[in-house]
Structure 1
Amino acid sequence: MSRFSKTLLSYLLGVLLSSAILLQLAFYFKGADELSDIEDTPRPKLHLYPPEVSTECRERHILFIIGGFTSVANALTTFKSVLFQMKGPLVFHFITNADSRKVIPTLFDTWQLPAVKYRIYDIEPYVKRIDWIPNTHYAFVFAMIKMVMHEILPEDVKEIVYLDTDLIILDDISPMFDVLKNTNDSVLFAMGENVSSGYTSGKHPWPARDIHNLLTISHPNIYVELPCEYNFQLGKNALPLTCQTNDRLVKIAHFNSKDKLNLKSKYVVHFARYYSHYRSMDGYVFRQRRECESDKSISTSLTDLIETDRECDELIVAMKTKYRTLLYFNGLNPSMLEHDVTLVTHLSIDRFAEFERVIDSWEGPISVAIYCTDAELYRLRSNIAMHAVFKTGDYYPINYLRNVALNASTTGLVFLTETNLVSSENIYNNIRKAVQRNMTNKAFVVPVFETTFDSEREKYPKTVEELLIEWKNGTLLPIEKQDNQKSYELWKENPARIKWDTGYLSLPVVARKTSIFYEEKFIGFDWRRRPNFIAKNSNSYLFGLIPSSFSIQPHHSQNIDFNHFNVSSLYKKCMSSIRREFDFDFYKILKDAIDLHRH
């Protein structure tokens, strides 16, 4: 907990940091025995009590320091624990690097949390203030930047609680926000009692905790100590037994070691169960949090239910849902080359095994949006750019998933495909050779075929010659051949020259900056292969074919939306009604665009 008297705190830190080299030498030469005196120095200690029941709706500020894609994904568990335990308005402050700033806005904007705001601050202008200090902490400058947080945060933030992202909140921590209430103006911050020898042994030079320790020794009047249950440390050098408490009283469990939950300790194992509970918790439940203790706006009373005779309400609700989204959760830094091609696709988690074939056949960058639950998120590992769209409801938000993957791609060109397709050999290199530097209003296409077998095959054609043999034998046929018979027959005669025609439902390669995003209102089955990338664009496109390239759709079990469409007359009725309501004729617009170009 910090109270900002910026002038005084800047002076004290300035004096301390300007002497950092001499103090660093003291760490090396004094030895652990003399440094142990730090632990014995008497410090003011507070006993915190829950506040009296109040209807006060008070905004509380919390600071996090986050660097990198995976750091945001890992911090998600900490965020949930805060939201679960704390009521009322919250303001999250994030000091971040460039990677985190690509992720945090999307995470919180799509989360739609009542009474939660966030602010983001760039770490880069302040790095030079602290990066010269010797530091072997595994978090590098992110461990030290809190020393200048008073310079980073705006003037309107008077008090703030800083939390690491490797901890979980286990109880109401609102007393922390009143810890400075009855202290004099000389007290600038409160800090949890230290139960870890690692911060004072001299073995880890200059993490921020060491600097705070020295600052409180030289100026004891600026500091009060919080009980250890507000920072129950579970690191390698922690001594939990020195904290006279038990798990019912622990407010904050802090996995403060590089090993985190992998540390072999009975205490870590115990509190890891709480961590797993938060990690698996459905984040959508926090859309129901209240602004204040007295807020009665959210009700579960059956008397509040409203009768409706609209048969398609469930589908319409799904169309209007804002889906929680976490970008780059596996931490891969995507390619940003202008003339490179990113394979853009989507899948539900049950299709991930099929998707591994796509990964094996594509040599370039991949951007994939995965529809999964919070619990499923942490089972996914791969060396491609993955983005989580968290599951809710019974419908698959296909076009939203497509847009997430498309928007998160960073190369100049994108190949818009489906997860279950098997591609011909060298398709990535063929696309790169075929595309042109100026792709404005141009698109290349890759035709799609389907197997006539009712079961999975071990091998599929890799070349056009192999494909034509199986086409002749009837074991592979053009997909949806009724609409595309003419186009496919021409492609069969001379695959390198055929251009897109009306109804040609193949896979496009387009320039990302000119690509039209998919209409997100369309969810579920029957919107899967409509050429939406051009459907809302009145400009003409010039279409070409990727030479010697194709994709094959293997036999696979159908998804839930396909089954809905096949067996539910109500589902078909609703989809037809929605199509008429939006008056969206894909093929007519596509034909008009092609005719405009030809004339």
Structure 2
Amino acid sequence: MRQEVDGMKSVHEGVLTLHKPHPLVADQRGNIDEMESKLTTEAAVSKCEVIQVAIVCAGHNSSRSMVTLIKSMLFYRKNPLHLHLITDAKAHLILSTLFDTWSIPQMEVSFYLADNVVSEVSWIPNKHYSGVYGLLKLTLPKALPSSLRKVIVLDTDVTFATDIAQLWALFQNMKSDQALGLVENQSDWYLGKLWKNHRPWPALGRGYNTGVILMDLSKLRSMNWPHLWRMIAERDLQTMLSTSLADQDIFNAVLQQNPRMLHEIPCHWNVQLSDNTRSESCYTEVADLKVIHWNSPKKLRVKNKHAEFFRNLHLTFLEYDGNLLRRELFGCSNYSTNKQASSYINHEQINEDDACYEFRCVKYIKYRTHLFYLDYDYEQESSDGSSEWDVTLVAQLSMDRLQMIESLAKHWEGPISLALYMSDTEAQQFLSFVISCETLANRKNIGYHVVYKEGSLYPINFLRNVALGQVTTPYVFLLDIDFLPMLGLYPYLKRVMSNLHMSEGNKALVIPAFESLRYRLNFPKTKADLLKMLDVGDLFTFRYHVWPKGHAASDYPKWRSATTPYKVNWEQDFEPYVVVRRDVPEFDLRFAGFGWNKVSHTMELEAQNYQFIVLPNAFVVHMPHAPSLDIAKYRANPLYKRCLDTLKSEFMSDLSIKYGKTFPVGN
């Protein structure tokens, strides 16, 4: 790993040509830098010392930027880490799932609910785009455990370019009365010269940026920090009326009154890329860069002389394969968080000599999962009681099906839960796709859950379970991404579920499936339109020519003339698209790639005595696309077929034991 780091530095040195700072600025900064460099060299961090890091993270977008920060820390780190995350409920769900599935050795994560301390700062009028969460760093001495003596506090929009242990070592340079280590502000904001009548909060000189803080919690607690900052904030708010830079204004006001608390750290530990900054004065060569801070609402679009270089560095970590960061710190065996370095669990239960070893591993892989990758906001509110019958469409996809999301969104106005199987690089391409697509950018009721690639088989049932697990509506419509629902299906389902008393007993509403062999299709608006297209050969019953068993039980001949819902019996190999309660059994994880992934699920519904009820005025249409890689493997590899047959037999046996029923094995 050391070679990778060195290689990255050499590339950067070849790309970026840095100019020298103004001599006067260089003298001022140089004195601090030289002194810190000497002290830090003498006071190195012990190899297995745990580095404590605190981050405030709220909302979906903040969780994404924090992942890039964590990647940059993990890339360079040589010490165990303990993250202390102050989160809202949304970020807690996202990040707890992410770190649990990421399984990074020698890294602990503790969560603290922001709601417990929001009241400490919510009284402060604040104009900053971060809202009340931009003030929460003021509460850290109270919010964090009393046993925690010191912590590095970071904004989510920073990127490391070196080992964080070097920053941790700077604590040892702080004098007895210095409780806060900060980098001087690199803009003219606190000088009050940016525009006419600009009135910033009081500060020492240029003020200090709070994107990176060395916070000595013990010292702050001993000086009654909550009382200190509140007293000064209340006084200054009488004239300032509100904060413009959130916690930064209040930290600076406190330091202006209590300068002895401050320990100034070298500016390359917080190279600030906001507008109107003089960050270029912090570095003369790439080796000087330690932490890059995108402290502007524009983020990566900020104007800076070396912005392209900084963006490339940021994108390096943004797209870096996070699975490669699951590496052990071998010299710190005495520090353990009981996490595996591998993404596999119960690995010893799998016989490596088994011919189907690859297939059996799928069940045990712990796929790194980032829930709600984009903003999601859906509340079930209905004055007519229809929320009782609300339904979410559930599907999964890989990058090669990405373009189908837009069409799906146009056909289904209700909530959607999608699991996307992607690499880190593909996730960024997906993000750009959604942002640039007007249809999708305006939809906030689509939950996108990114599952990062691992292994050689497509984990289709794992993906379905991820998407299913994040549904909040009472009912789900289990579909595949390459189908388009008939227009108006969402309101139709809510009406029909009420009439069918879906809440009573186990019911599965079957939506008949059809297919087009044409890439350009005049989509049928009604059942009458669909029947005409069937008669002239523009549409067909789904997979009639290759897999009729899958949907034959829906009884297409009866559906043609049906006007009321009708029950059908389960048949061997039946795999319909159904609407069921949200508490439906999960899909069996042993089935990955191609084959039997839906059949096994329908069979378990039958084992639980679900009634299959076909809806007479509903349909979905499969749109043509290139075959998946997994179906190509199935067709070309005899071992694939043999292993699938083995998994089928084992599933049938397990199902019989679980429910006391026997089922015929399909072909």
TM-score normalised over the length of structure 2:
0.76
Q: 1:19 — aligned with what?
A: none
Shift of 1:243: 2.1
Shift of 1:214: 2.8
Contact kept? 1:46, 1:225, Cα under 8 Å: no
How do residues 59-208 of structure 1 correspond to structure 2 at under 5 angstroms?
A: 59-181=50-172, 183-201=174-192, 202-203=199-200, 205=244, 207-208=246-247
Aligned equivalent of 1:557, options 626, 635, 640: 626
Contact kept? 2:587, 2:597, Cα under 8 Å: no
Question: Secondary structure of 1:178's match?
Answer: helix
Question: Secondary structure of 1:431's match?
Answer: helix
How do residues 314-393 of structure 1 correspond to structure 2 at under 5 angstroms?
A: 314-336=358-380, 337-380=387-430, 381=434, 382=440, 383=443, 384-393=446-455
Distance 1:334 1:111, change over 3 A: farther
Distance 1:139 1:55, change over 3 A: closer
Matched, 1:414 2:481: no
Aligned equivalent of 1:521, options 586, 590, 612: 590
| Whole-Å separation in 2 of the counterparts to 1:507 and 1:590 | 23
Contact kept? 1:421, 1:552, Cα under 8 Å: yes
Percent identical: 30
Structure 2 counterpart of 1:394, one-letter code = S
Distance 1:416 1:441, change over 3 A: same
| Whole-Å separation in 2 of the counterparts to 1:268 and 1:410 | 42
Distance 1:205 1:489, change over 3 A: closer
Distance 1:589 1:446, change over 3 A: farther
How do residues 373-452 of structure 1 correspond to structure 2 at under 5 angstroms?
A: 373-380=423-430, 381=434, 382=440, 383=443, 384-436=446-498, 438-439=502-503, 440-451=505-516
CA shift digits 1:229-281 (9 cap, x unpaired):
11111111211133254322110011111111111222322211100100010
TM-score normalised over the length of structure 1:
0.84
Contact kept? 2:506, 2:609, Cα under 8 Å: yes
Distance 1:318 1:295, change over 3 A: farther
Aligned equivalent of 1:265, options 304, 320, 333: 304
Shift of 1:321: 1.2
Structure 2 counterpart of 1:313, one-letter code = Y
Question: Secondary structure of 1:253's match?
Answer: strand
Shift of 1:84: 0.7
Q: 1:6 — aligned with what?
A: none
Q: 1:478 — aligned with what?
A: 541
Structure 2 counterpart of 1:506, one-letter code = P
Question: Secondary structure of 2:83's match?
Answer: strand
Q: 1:12 — aligned with what?
A: none
**Bigger mean CA offset, 396-405 vs 431-440:** 431-440
Contact kept? 1:261, 1:269, Cα under 8 Å: no
CA shift digits 1:505-555 (9 cap, x unpaired):
22111111x211111221110034325166167532233233410112132
CA shift digits 1:543-593 (9 cap, x unpaired):
323341011213221111111111111111222222223335889999969
| Whole-Å separation in 2 of the counterparts to 1:592 and 1:474 | 41
Contact kept? 1:416, 1:509, Cα under 8 Å: yes
Total equivalences in the alignment: 546
How do residues 498-513 of structure 1 correspond to structure 2 at under 5 angstroms?
A: 498-503=566-571, 504-512=574-582
| Whole-Å separation in 1 of the counterparts to 2:45 and 2:64 | 34
Structure 1 counterpart of 2:557, one-letter code = E
Distance 1:462 1:481, change over 3 A: farther
| Whole-Å separation in 2 of the counterparts to 1:185 and 1:291 | 35
Question: Secondary structure of 1:428's match?
Answer: helix
CA shift digits 1:36-55 (9 cap, x unpaired):
xxx99x99974463577887
**Bigger mean CA offset, 62-71 vs 577-586:** 577-586
Q: 2:524 — aligned with what?
A: 461
Distance 1:51 1:481, change over 3 A: farther
Aligned equivalent of 1:546, options 615, 619, 622: 615
Contact kept? 2:275, 2:296, Cα under 8 Å: yes
| Whole-Å separation in 2 of the counterparts to 1:551 and 1:136 | 48
Question: Secondary structure of 2:84's match?
Answer: strand
Question: Secondary structure of 2:292's match?
Answer: strand
Runs of 5+ consecutive residues of structure 2 not aligned to the other structure: 1-27, 193-198, 201-242, 343-349, 381-386, 435-439
| Whole-Å separation in 2 of the counterparts to 1:359 and 1:43 | 56
Let me know the Cα RMSD of the aligned residues: 3.2
Shift of 1:221: 2.5
Distance 1:390 1:197, change over 3 A: same
Contact kept? 2:127, 2:245, Cα under 8 Å: yes
| Whole-Å separation in 2 of the counterparts to 1:367 and 1:106 | 16
| Whole-Å separation in 1 of the counterparts to 2:356 and 2:605 | 25
Matched, 1:57 2:125: no
**Bigger mean CA offset, 201-210 vs 376-385:** 201-210
**Bigger mean CA offset, 435-444 vs 277-286:** 435-444
Structure 2 counterpart of 1:481, one-letter code = P
Structure 1 counterpart of 2:118, one-letter code = V
Structure 2 counterpart of 1:464, one-letter code = K
Q: 2:216 — aligned with what?
A: none
| Whole-Å separation in 1 of the counterparts to 2:557 and 2:550 | 12
Aligned equivalent of 2:282, options 235, 238, 243: 243
CA shift digits 1:374-411 (9 cap, x unpaired):
11112221332211011122211101110111111111
Distance 1:389 1:313, change over 3 A: same
Structure 2 counterpart of 1:409, one-letter code = V
Question: Secondary structure of 1:578's match?
Answer: helix
Distance 1:505 1:402, change over 3 A: same
